[in-house]
């Protein structure tokens, strides 16, 4: 039987980030995943500035060779739009495969061991049973995604689901038309458009109700449909569920959950990857001092604002009138949108934005109603 200090179930972004953070602190680390790299997944593929900072703390700097810069977010609905830039830094679009390759390479450089094509079948105390034998670990990390079995086996399933939607992703060969990540809104849901290269964009459509394909859903988004006219689809469409999940606890004994396994926010926030990376730092710090309670507390703090904002944005998804008022308010007072983005990427605390902006937003919305 193998012995290791940290065993990580799941070699997606959260598992690899946790591997890098713990290996950097001197732990021996094994990552096991059912699949072999590079692992793809349906994703909006947008990294906001806070995610880029966290990635650079792992020792990974994205460049124009592997990703594409965007300066802010544009909301588009019908024929109208409103946009705002991030304060100070930009975001980057990076294809999921490229991101996985970069994380995998960094973890391998540091000496992380991998068990690709290996399924984790059970946890018995400090022993992990895999499809290729047993491993004894001091710490066990569940980075096995939204349907985490580690979460179930370790008794951490208590919590609630706040949302469930379906996402379909398709890449297109098309030069990005400018330096914004776009969110196209309609009554069906949203289409997120992220530039991922000089000649490539990623489109993800997310909706509450089933839809057959990205192509069929484009009828709902006239501006985007016009942009994509004649663009060559690259590869096959890929689908995934996007869910909001809140769990009461993310640690039990010597087991910790990270990334989507520890709770998820709807894709609308574009924050899943940033959360995984920030949690990896917090987990590394906690394991270094041997105190998972520290991780439990930091995990709650990391999630607070993204959970609030994703729920607020889901209200805009559900209630068309609220969405139109909010977008009109942003158009009337662009600094409100900028402030929301600042909060979104952690550059401004929610409470600073809170009272002034909510009042301002209320006034703008009432102005719309009058």
Ligand X SMILES: Cc1cc2nc3c(=O)[nH]c(=O)nc-3n(C[C@H](O)[C@H](O)[C@H](O)COP(=O)(O)OP(=O)(O)OC[C@H]3O[C@@H](n4cnc5c(N)ncnc54)[C@H](O)[C@@H]3O)c2cc1C
Residues that bind ligand X (CB under 6 A): 9-15, 32-35, 39, 41-46, 119-120, 143-145, 149, 167, 204, 206, 240, 242, 259-261, 267, 270-274, 276
Residue nearer to ligand X on the CB measure, 148 or 252: 148
Q: Considering beta carbons, is residue 104 or 357 the nearer one to ligand X? A: 104
CB of residue 46 to ligand X, shortest distance in Å = 4
Nearer Cβ to ligand X, position 346 or 364? 346
Distances (CA, A) of 135 to 145, 286, 305: 21, 22, 37
Cβ proximity to ligand X: between 206 and 307 the closer is 206
In angstroms, the CA 69 to CA 257 distance is 31
**Minimum distance from CB of 340 to ligand X (Å)?**
17
Q: Which residues neighbour 64 within 8 Å (Cβ) at sequence distance 6 or greater?
A: 198
DSSP assignment of 106-133 equals HHHHHT-EEEET--EEEEETTEEEETTE
Cβ distance to ligand X smaller for residue 90 or 368: 90
CB of 139 to ligand X, least distance (A): 17
CA nearest neighbour of 286 among 18, 56, 106: 18
Helix 320-332 vs helix 292-318: angle between axes, to the nearest 10 degrees?
Answer: 100
Shortest distance, position 15 Cβ to ligand X, whole Å: 5
Residue of minimal CB distance from ligand X? 272
**Residues 316, 337: Cα–Cα separation, whole Å:** 14
Least gap, CB of 130 to ligand X (angstroms): 7
Residues 117, 198: Cα–Cα separation, whole Å: 33
* Overall size of the chain counted in residues: 370
Cis bond upstream, residue 38 (ω within 30) = yes
Give the nearest distance from C-beta 57 to ligand X in angstroms. 16
Nearer to ligand X, 83 or 279 (CB): 279
Q: How far is CA 341 from the centre of its chain?
A: 16
In angstroms, give the least distance from the CB of 293 to ligand X. Answer: 22
Looking at beta carbons only, is 95 or 276 nearer to ligand X? 276
- Nearest residue (CB) to ligand X, 45 versus 77: 45
3 and 136 Cβ atoms separated by less than 8 Å: yes
CB of 333 to ligand X, least distance (A): 26
Which helix or strand (DSSP H or E) is residue 193 part of?
A: strand 189-197
List CB contacts of 236: < 8 A, sequence separation 6 or more: none
In degrees and rounded to multiples of 5, residue 277 shows phi and psi of: -70, -40
């Amino acid at each position: 039987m193998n012995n290791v200090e940290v065993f990580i179930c799941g070699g997606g972004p959260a598992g690899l980030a946790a591997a890098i953070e713990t290996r950097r602190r001197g732990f021996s680390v094994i990552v096991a995943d059912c699949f072999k790299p590079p692992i793809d997944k349906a994703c909006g593929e947008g990294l906001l500035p806070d995610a880029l900072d966290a990635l650079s703390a792992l020792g990974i700097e994205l460049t124009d060779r592997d990703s594409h810069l965007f300066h802010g977010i544009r909301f588009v609905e019908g024929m109208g739009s409103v946009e705002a830039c991030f304060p100070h830094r930009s975001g980057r679009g990076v294809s999921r495969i490229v991101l996985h390759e970069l994380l995998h390479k960094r973890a391998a450089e540091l000496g992380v061991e991998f068990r690709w094509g290996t399924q984790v079948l059970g946890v018995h105390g400090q022993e992990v049973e895999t499809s290729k034998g047993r491993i004894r670990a001091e710490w066990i990390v569940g980075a096995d995604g939204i349907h985490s079995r580690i979460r179930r086996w370790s008794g951490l399933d208590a919590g609630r689901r706040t949302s469930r939607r379906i996402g379909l992703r398709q890449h297109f060969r098309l030069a990005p038309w400018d330096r914004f990540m776009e969110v196209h809104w309609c009554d069906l849901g949203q289409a997120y458009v992220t530039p991922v290269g000089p000649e490539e964009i990623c489109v993800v459509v997310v909706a509450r109700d089933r839809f057959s394909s990205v192509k069929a859903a484009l009828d709902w988004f006239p501006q985007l449909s016009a942009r994509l006219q004649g663009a060559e689809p690259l590869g096959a469409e890929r689908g995934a569920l996007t869910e909001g999940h809140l769990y009461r606890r993310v640690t039990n004994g010597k087991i910790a959950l990270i990334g989507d396994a520890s709770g998820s926010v709807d894709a609308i926030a574009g924050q899943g990857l940033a959360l995984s990376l920030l949690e990896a730092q917090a987990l590394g710090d906690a394991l270094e001092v041997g105190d998972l309670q520290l991780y439990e507390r930091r995990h709650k703090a990391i999630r607070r604002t993204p959970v609030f904002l994703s729920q607020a944005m889901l209200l805009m998804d559900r209630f068309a009138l609220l969405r139109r008022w909010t977008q009109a308010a942003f158009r009337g007072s662009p600094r409100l949108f900028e402030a929301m983005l600042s909060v979104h990427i952690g550059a401004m605390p929610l409470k600073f934005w809170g009272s002034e902006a909510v009042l301002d937003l209320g006034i703008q919305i009432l102005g719309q109603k009058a």
